Amino acid sequence: MDPHGYGSNNQRIPPITGLMAFESVARNGSFSKAADELSITQSAVSHRISQLESLLGASLLIRIGHSVSLAPAGKELLPYVREGLGCLRDGLAKISTEGKPSLKLSLAPAVAANWLIQRLSGFPRKHPDINLEINVTSKNINLRSGEADVAIRCGEGRWDGLDAIELIPLNEVAVCSPAYKKAHPWLRRLEDLERATLLRHNFISWKDWFARLGTEVKLPASGLSFSEVSLLITAAECSQGVALVFDALVERQIQDGTLVQAVPQSLVSERSYYIITPTGAPRSDALQAFIDWLLTLKPEPAAR
């Protein structure tokens, strides 16, 4: 084929924009739906098809009112257009991903949104040859069955059939917004939390936290409770009360000043975030590179 688009039979290949418009109208049975799909105007779709018909010297579509059907030439051409566009898409997809290893990472929404996403750009910069697919879920998916290659999971580091490498040691801290702190100037000591609005979730218990600090605080029988930590953090930022959270999940908020420690006390948590992989499963070069990169993010011991 010469550079002008002619093959050995001197048949010129029409512009791909016209072929895509024709295929979309034929599949959707509508110029307006094709326009929405291609993100162009309806008149642009009509213009592209008119150009295509003019170039081919044949009518491809029959327009009667708002209905569209295939003309005989359109019926004959359509299978070839679909096959050609499909081959082109497959080829483009192949060269864009060919040779690039892929990894699937699973982690909970809170650590994804409040810790990983702030650091994630460093990985593709260092390893542009690795495709990373991130699956955010509150469920502990089955790594051994291949649902993911690696996970970041919170716990004490013991899971049956899984290897765990500590990634983020955690402290448990009580935080609130500066506005909430200003509106409650009496909130200075640990015991003062008894009078505060305590936001709750099922991951860290206020009762256990106070007990470990050696303080007896009468907790309210009811109040706001959240199943998702990210929403709990947002509620604290919106001055709805005091939240008990892991310090790693509110680093950005504390740095930005949208959250402050409600009281100076904090506790070293018995849990950490861990890098989890199936025990005994071979690690690909891509997986090992990702684990090594994650470990560069691990805070220094003194940071606790």
| pLDDT tens by residue, 84-138 | 888 887 777 666 655 578 899 999 999 999 999 999 999 999 999 899 999 998 8
Residue 144 confidence (pLDDT): 79
The predicted model scores a pTM of 0.66
Domain 101-304 coded CATH 3.40.190.290: yes
Q: Does domain 16-97 have CATH number 3.40.50.10490?
A: no
Phi-psi region of 239 (alpha: psi -120 to 50; beta: other; left: phi over 0): left
Range picked from 5-19, 68-82, 246-260 for highest mean pLDDT:
246-260
d(CA 74, CA 72): 5
The pLDDT tens digits of the residues spanning 161-170 come to 899 999 999 9
Q: Which of 227, 221, 188 is nearest to 207 (CA)?
A: 221
pLDDT at 96: 60
> Structural domain boundaries of the chain?
16-97, 101-304
> What is the distance of C-alpha 61 from the center of its chain?
42
Residue whose entry in the numeric block shows the structure tokens 């307006």? 32
Residue 42 CA to residue 63 CA, distance in Å, equals 14
Residues linked to residue 246 through DSSP beta bridges, in sequence order: 172
Q: Which of 217, 196, 214 is nearest to 206 (CA)?
A: 217
Residue reference for tokens 């170039």: 55
User: What is the four-CA torsion angle of 79, 82, 85, 89, rounded to 10 degrees?
Assistant: -130
Average pLDDT, the chain: 88
